[in-house]
Structure formats: structure tokens, C-alpha cells
Amino acid sequence: MMTTLTHHEDLKGAIGAQVEATLDDVQALYRQLHQTPELPFQEHKTSARLAEALEGLGYEVTRSVGGTGVVALLKNGEGPTVMLRGDMDALPIKEDTGLDFASRETAIAADGTEVPLMHACGHDLHSSCVVGAAGVMAGLRDHWSGTLMLVCQPAEEIFGGARAMLDDGLYERFGRPDVLLGQHNMPALAGSVGHIAGGAMAACTNLAVTIHGAGGHGSMPAQTVDPVVIAAHVVTRLQTIVSREVPPEETVVVTVGKLHAGTQANIIPHSAELEINIRSFDNALHARVVDAIERIIRAECEAGRSPTPPEFRVLNETIALHNDPTAVEHVRRAHAEHFGEASLYAMPRLNGSEDFPFFGNAEAGGFGGEDIPYVYWFIGATPAERWAETPGATVSEKMRHLEMPHSPYYFPGNAVTLRTGIEAMAAGALAWLA
């Protein structure tokens, strides 16, 4: 008895066959990228490898977009333009995974110090998945029509790469996409895919502050203005923003992650340095919180007789990530058809942050016109055996017990996760192009 395949079954099988054909090469690329990580805007070897891989698949490739970014186009007749984005920078962390291809690289950071390097957030996995999806889509030209735009983005960890590529004319030079698709690994079950509509990730501002005093001898405090005392009041008072100025139903985090002043006990220093991390899920509220921080610091400096107003410097920042609900449902349906409903999970909202939303927000991204809808989903990275033995009944409960991105022990690059990431990107793109 003959069985007639549906369009979706046929497409699922075609994707699977293409992944089989390209997986060994993508795994080799992944190991290569993992072993040789590079800091933000220093991804010269990484971007060259990715560009060469995409050129080998027949894509029209442009290098050095926004510094070290790579853009690849595959035009395949009339139809929409779908953009797939993967990031590629690493972190100043010493790897402790024990892998035989673990990083032993170091680099010179912006402050001139030598730092160890590690792909502790899986950006090597993300960019490898883009190359894998590129291979799948090139092999399935007969199944779709339109334009596929691939973006290998630098400097996500400092929220700099998306804007750098946009400022370098990304959409003017290569065309404005109709939809944007991206993904990130998480310590959920490998082989699973998580979706969330609306507010998914937080806006983030990292703010550096200098509080000025008038230093002197510790035995004569009346002849000084002590910036340490002012800074101590600032740290305490900033906690009242969340408790007394933010509506209780909103989520805001204000963290003073750095406080540095002085050189020894009997010297009152001339200044104190703070670095403050602010996170929220509402861009307008976020701006009000930053204003409140500056207002409090100025007032404490005046109360403490600071001879010079405080100085503020934004180290980096990004806006909240709001997935387009209609586009999320479209992608989720495609993923359900490809992976099966049982392989999907409801992704909880994350206080972590991304610069991916700049690609879709016309005002914040600086490209004008209407916003571009985007979907950012999450692929599981925990092998099944480890997942089964981890305490908890839900995804959120289990993830509390597992290594998270930015840990020196975090390794998301198992074969199941790599394959899932490739298939999720290809199935997501085909949801618009097929």
C-alpha cells in the first residue's frame, strides 16, 4: 500500500537529509571556532572562517561589515527576504570544561591586560548553526523562493555589533528583510526548542560613575571630602529605586557590580568609581530608572560636599527584546511540524539581554521606517542523561541546577544541540520562504 507524503513530511525529510550531508563539516567548523575564540570586534579569524564556509556554499559574501561582521546572500527568485542572525564573539573567561578541543587562547583586552578566552555563551555554536542552515537552504533551492540573508554578527557581548552593522548600512547595502530570525542556546533538554511571545529578554544599561572628592590624610578627615562615604550612601540609596519608585508589577534590577576607591587605609582618596547594571523589560521605564540613578547620585554628591559634579558614562546598553506574537506563532507552528509538539517548551522570560532587537526596532536601530518583526527562540543544550538526573519538574526548575552561559564549565555544543539549531533555523526560514 503506497503512502502519500504531505508537504510538511516531505520538507522535514528533505531538511533531515541535507543536515546529514553537512553535519560533519559543521561539527568540524564548530570545534575549530570553539578552540580559537576571539573578543568582541577582534573576531578576525572567526569571521574569515565563516565567510569562507559560506562562499563555499555558493553565497554572495561581504566581509568587514560593521568591523568584523559578515553578510551572505542567497537570492532564489521572487519572494520575501528572511534574515538569519548568529553572533560570534567570545568572553574573557578561562575555560574549565575538560574538552580535548578546549580553548587555551588569550588576548589583550581594552584595558591592556592579557585575558583568557572562552566561548562560554555558545556564540561559536550559533554561528556554526548559521553555516549549517546555509548548507541546508542551498541544497533545498527547489523547495523555496525569495532571498535568504545571513548575518554573522560581532560584539554581542558588549551590545555593540548589531548597531555597528546597521550603522555601516546593513539594510541599505543588502536589502531590508521582511522578518528577522535568531536563536540562543540554554541549559534546557538538548533537542528541545523554546518559544516566548512578547517581552522575552531585558533591556540593559551598564553605567560607569565617577564620584569626586578631595583627598587627604586619614587623620584629618575634616580637611577632605570623602568620596567613599558618598559612594556608600549612593549604593544604599539606589536600592530604594526598585522598592519605592518602580510599580510592584514591574521587574527591574539595579546592581552595583563595581565599587573601587583608594589605595590604603590612611589615605582618603580623590575619587570613587562605580559601575552599575540596570535591567528591565520596558524601555520607557528603563529610561526613567536610569534618570533616577543619576538624580540620586547627583543629590548624594551635593549632600556630601563633592567639589565637582559626578561623571556618568554609558559603557554599553541594549533595548528590551519583544518577540512579535504573530511571527512567533508562525515559527512555532513550523517547529512543531518539524520537531513534534513534545519537543517544544514554553520559554520563561529572561533577565539576560541581547542586542538582536536593534535589528528590528527602527528607532533604536537607526534605520527608520516601520519596525521589522522578529522571532528569537531558544534551543536546549543539556544532554538527555544529565537532564533526567537534574532535580525539578519544569524547565525553569531544572535550569536552576545547571551551568548557565558565562560559566567556565558551560558547554552547549553537543551533536544533538548543533543539529537542532541547524534544523530550527532552516525550518524557521522555510516557514516564510517555502
State which of 269, 298, 318 marks the end of a domain. Answer: 318
7 CB contacts (<8 Å, ≥6 apart)? none
Assess if residue 116 is contained within a domain: yes
State how far the Cα of 83 lies from the Cα of 69, in Å rounded to an integer.
14
Assess if residue 350 is contained within a domain: yes
Helix (H, G, I), strand (E, B) or coil at 217: strand
For residues 393 and 164, the answer to whether their CB atoms sit within 8 Å is: no
Q: Which helix (H) or strand (E) holds 17?
A: helix 7-35
Residues 283 and 187 grouped into a single domain: no
State which of 318, 337, 364 marks the end of a domain. Answer: 318
State how far the Cα of 75 lies from the Cα of 64, in Å rounded to an integer.
21
State how far the Cα of 288 lies from the Cα of 247, in Å rounded to an integer.
12
pTM over the 0.75 mark:
yes
Residues 289 and 344 grouped into a single domain: no
Assess if residue 2 is contained within a domain: no
Residues 165 and 38 grouped into a single domain: yes
Residues 307 and 398 grouped into a single domain: no
191 DSSP assignment: T
Residues 292 and 345 grouped into a single domain: no
Residues 386 and 419 grouped into a single domain: yes
Residues 193 and 209 grouped into a single domain: no
The CATH number linked to 68 is 3.40.630.10
Residues 182 and 48 grouped into a single domain: yes
pLDDT reported for residue 10: 83
Residues 123 and 270 grouped into a single domain: no
Assess if residue 1 is contained within a domain: no
Residues 187 and 82 grouped into a single domain: yes
Average pLDDT, consecutive stretches of 10 residues, N- to C-terminus, the chain (434 residues): 52 94 96 98 98 98 98 98 98 98 96 96 98 98 97 98 98 98 98 98 98 97 98 98 96 97 98 98 97 98 98 98 98 97 96 97 97 98 97 94 97 97 98 96
pLDDT reported for residue 6: 54
pLDDT reported for residue 363: 97
Residues of the domain holding 230: 203-318
Residues 222 and 283 grouped into a single domain: yes
pLDDT reported for residue 1: 34
Q: Which three cell numbers stand for residue 255?
A: 546592581
The CATH number linked to 287 is 3.30.70.360
**CA-angle at 421, arms to 351 and 332, nearest 5°:** 70
Domain count, the chain: 2
Residues 184 and 222 grouped into a single domain: no
